[in-house]
Amino acid sequence: MNKKVLLAAPRGYCAGVDRAVVTVEKALDLYGAPVYVRKQIVHNK
């Protein structure tokens, strides 16, 4: 039996992850390193 896998395009992070990454980048610009976060920014669950 042949199966076909369809991949969505474009693929990428969800809006929440994109926003979190931008927020961390802004914090780095404002305050410098290190910047700590309480939980994972990028998740795959």
Q: How confident is the model at residue 39 (pLDDT cuts 50, 70, 90)?
A: confident
Q: Which pLDDT tens digit goes with each residue over 4-26?
A: 999 888 888 888 889 999 999 99
41 touches 25 (CB < 8 A): no
Cα–Cα distance measured from residue 27 to residue 20, given in angstroms and rounded to the nearest whole number: 11
2-32: b (≥16 Cβ within 10 Å) or e? eeeeeeeeeeeeeeeeeebeeeeeeeeeeee
Q: What is the pLDDT of residue 12?
A: 83
DSSP 10: S
